[in-house]
Each structure stands twice: as structure tokens, then as C-alpha cells.
Amino acid sequence: MTTLQETIIPTKRVRRITVLISGSGSNLQALLDSTSTSRLPNCQITYVISSRSNAYGLIRAKNNKPFSIPTKICSLKTFQNKNKNSTREDYDCEISRLILNSKPDLVVLAGWMHILSDKFLQILNGQIKPPLSPTLPPPPSSSTTSTEKEIQLPDLNDLKISDNDKIEKTSSSSSFKGEQVKITSNEEKEESNFPEPPLHQSFPIPIINLHPALPGQFDGANAIGRAFEAFQKGEIKNTGVMVHRVVAEVDRGEPLVVREIEIKKEDKLEDLEARIHEVEHQIIVEGAKLVLEELDKEGRP
């Protein structure tokens, strides 16, 4: 007598992405718009960390549909003010602790304006353990009591929000200027809407960065402006944009996606910036998808 044997096909776990931002968050928006589509399937952004309290990317995360993305503001200046004897490396350790608490499969730097230290990379590579709490405790006068207040917001650039705060729009207007903004302490959110984290964190955690230049050209800050100036001097004909793995050397990690971008004689700097940003929104999604597919091929749990 023949018996049927049940075959169980394991389902792939939905991958978790943590995104680090410092500004407008347009590349974060490109990722948010692509998750759960064929462009970036079987993954979800579960946490956003910003180095600036007035980053508009925080609003994008808050307004994401069908549910908001948890955010954390961790400003270098605020961290150092609270921890008088802290170093820049201590700040990076705090960022790494926040990242590990979010249990990501992938970390994406989408306009993150700080160079990350070797110790940060060692922590995310699983070579050393991170601190379990901030390096130094806050001053005794600090309070953890949750408070609420409303302020009139004249301009996005004037918005000042302390660490551990979240932003809530209270106006139905589509314009951000002049809106009433409610600031509520303790922004951590329930994770019921997000994919289950892995039982054990796998290392190394891949980290990718978006950089508006071709490999080996214009590393570091103001890459678009420097490329435009070089074109004006006749030193280059084209520039580009890439997604690369993050290593200790700034913008020198393995390129994953590279696009060359023409610089036209009639271009103003703003024209070149707009053309580059349009391509950035495409390749940051391609780079994230490539890395997540590699994790699946490796059998990463």
C-alpha cells in the first residue's frame, strides 16, 4: 500500500531593513514606495534613524501607509551635550546599538551625513559586541516623563525636536510650512505590523551606501558640486552615481550598482543635481534588492 508523504516547503522570512538618513528622505521614499512590489519584494523597512531632528525623512516615515515606520533621532551634537566626555566613536557605538535593537537584515545609508568609524563596522560585522546602553548616562536632571506640546512651525529648517521625540502633523493641509506639529516624547512604536525578526542576529549585517559619483571619483562630501566644477574645467565629461558596500575607506566599498550620467554644456548645477537624484531613486532600490537576494541565496536565516 502506497502512502503519501507530506512535503513542507519552508516560506522565506520577510526581510527587515533599517535606513539611516540626515535630510529630505527622498531616497527613503523610493525604498518605501518599492517594498512589497516586484522592485523590492519580500521585505519591509522597519526602522529609520535620523542624525538630524529636522530631517523631512522623519515626516515621510510617519506618513507611510498603511502604517507608520518607527523612527529615532540621534543627533551627534545632542549626544555629546548629554555625554560630556563622549567621543565620536561613542556616538557610532550608540548608532550601532540602535541598529542591532531593530534586528535588521540590511542597513541602508540613504543620505546619512556622518562617516562611520571602524568600531561601528566591527560591531555590525559581529567582530565585537556593542554597548548594551548609551556609553554615558544622561545628566541627573534629565526627565523621562512623557510630555506633549504644540508649536507653530514656520519652516522645516527651523524645526527643532529633541531626541526621543516624534513628529505628528495635526493639519490637513498638504503644505508643510505653517502646520501645527505635535511633539510627543517616547516615539517607540508597536511592531505588530512588521515582519518577525530572526531568532538570532546573523553577521555580518550588510551595509550599503548611495554616493553621487563614479567609483574612485569625488569621494566624500559635495560630490556633485565637485564633479560639476571639474566638468567646467574640462577635467571630466561625465559623472555618475553608485550604490556600494560600506567599508572603512570612505566611498571605496565594492560597487554594486553604477550609472554614468551625462553632464551637458548648458547644465546648471541644479540641472545636474536633479538628473542625479532621479537615478539615485532607481539604483538605491536595485542595490537593496541585490543584497537581499544574495542573503536568500546564501540561505541566511
Pairing status of strand 148-152 against strand 71-73: unpaired
Whether residue 131 has a cis bond before it, omega within 30° of 0: no
Is this prediction's pTM over 0.85?
A: no
pLDDT for 175:
35
Grid coordinates representing 205 are: 549585517
Convert the pLDDT of each residue in 228-259 to its tens digit. 999 999 999 999 999 999 999 999 999 999 99
Question: Strand order in 255-262's β-sheet?
Answer: 71-73, 43-50, 15-21, 106-109, 207-211, 238-245, 255-262
Residues 172-205: tens digit of each pLDDT: 333 333 333 333 323 544 455 777 777 678 999 9
Instruction: Print the SS3 string covering 131-153.
Output: CCCCCCCCCCCCCCCCCEEEEEC
> What is the CATH T-level fold of the domain 15-132+202-214+240-260+276-298, as seen in this structure?
Rossmann fold (3.40.50)
Q: Any idea where the domains of the chain sit in the sequence?
A: 15-132+202-214+240-260+276-298
19-56 pLDDT, tens per residue?
999 999 999 999 999 998 999 999 999 999 999 999 99
Active site residues: 211
Rounded Cα gap, residues 107 and 224, in angstroms: 24
